[in-house]
Structures are given as C-alpha cells and as structure tokens.
C-alpha cells in the first residue's frame, strides 16, 4: 500500500527536488534529472523489481549517464555505466553463455588497452573479435536458413503465404521448407 503512495507522490517529489536543485544549488540541469525518479520509482517499487530493473537497464543507464554527464560533468568515467546492460542480464538470468562471455572479455580487453596503453582508437578493433570468435567457436545451433524457401516465397509474391490451406509442397530435393511456421514437404 505504501508503494502505491510513493509512486503517486513521486512527480511532486521530483518537482520539489528540481526546484531545490535550481534555486538552492543553482544547477537546473541537475534538477532535470530528478524527473527520472518517476519511472524509476515505478520500476523499483513493483512486485518483481529485479526483473523490471533488468528489462529497463538501457533506460536506467542512459538516465544515470546523463545525470553524471550533465549534472556532475563526469561524462568520461560516466560511460562505464553502460556496461551494466549486459552484466545485469547475465547476472539476473544466471546463464553465463560462452557467446556472452566473449563479449565481456573483449570489452575488458578494450578497457585494458585503452587505460594501460592509451590506445583507444586502434583498440576498438578488438570488438571485431566478438563475431569472429562466436562464429568460429560457438555457432548458433538453431540457425537454419533455407535459401530455397526464402527465394521461393519472395519470387512468387505474398500470395503463397496468404493461402494457409496448403499443407505440403514438394521441392526438387525433398527438403523441408518453413514458411509461416508451417512445414511443407
């Protein structure tokens, strides 16, 4: 019950903090960031706050970054908050898949190259390792592109996809063709 009251009062609380920041601290830009408390309070005070936080982590990181950059003039170290997006997803789901771990390690390598070697510009090239390593060592097993079905569907137009009464369709090689979640033979 108190959660709903806090959520209902949050626009007024944000307005009060905005005015305080503007008149007392003389920082109106910082005050604008307090309006982000309205959606954040809804997220944090919901019935499943962890799930809501992970789902809205991109919004949260943008708000925190803007607060750091515009309000506190800390844009350079503030960009690190964007690393919370993939990390929160991995921690919440509890799945440390190799494909995601490669992304984390490559990002860590980029940060080490940048901070230690001060080679930010050529260092970004390590991000090209993510698709290369994932393709070579951890290919997706459920990826199945049937080029014949793709070109058959688009060469005959969309009339074949509108007719769902057809159950089976023979091809020259007797391969399965998946169109609109139905299997044709």
- Give pLDDT tens digits along the chain (185 positions): 688 888 889 999 999 999 999 999 998 988 888 888 888 888 778 778 788 878 888 888 888 898 888 888 888 888 888 888 888 888 888 777 888 888 888 888 888 888 898 888 888 889 899 889 888 888 876 656 666 666 666 666 555 545 544 444 555 555 555 555 444 44
Whole-number Å distance between alpha carbons of 173 and 170: 8
Whole-number Å distance between alpha carbons of 3 and 47: 10
Sorted by where each begins, the domain ranges of the chain are 1-95, 147-184
């Amino acid at each position: 019950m108190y959660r709903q009251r806090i959520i209902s009062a949050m626009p007024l609380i944000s307005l009060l903090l905005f005015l305080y920041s503007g008149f007392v601290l003389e920082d109106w830009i910082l005050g604008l960031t307090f309006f982000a408390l309205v959606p954040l309070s809804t997220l944090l005070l919901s019935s499943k706050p962890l799930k809501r936080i992970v789902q809205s982590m991109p919004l949260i990181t943008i708000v925190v970054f803007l607060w750091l950059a515009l309000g506190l003039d800390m844009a350079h170290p503030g960009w690190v908050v964007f690393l919370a997006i993939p990390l929160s997803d991995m921690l919440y789901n509890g799945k440390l898949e190799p494909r995601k771990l490669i992304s984390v390690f490559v990002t860590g390598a980029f940060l080490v190259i940048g901070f230690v070697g001060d080679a930010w510009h050529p260092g970004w090239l390590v991000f090209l390792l993510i698709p290369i390593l994932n393709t070579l060592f951890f290919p997706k097993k459920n990826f199945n592109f049937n080029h014949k079905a793709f070109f058959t569907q688009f060469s005959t137009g969309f009339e074949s996809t509108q007719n769902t009464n057809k159950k089976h369709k023979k091809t020259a090689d007797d391969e399965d063709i998946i169109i609109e979640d139905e299997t044709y033979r």
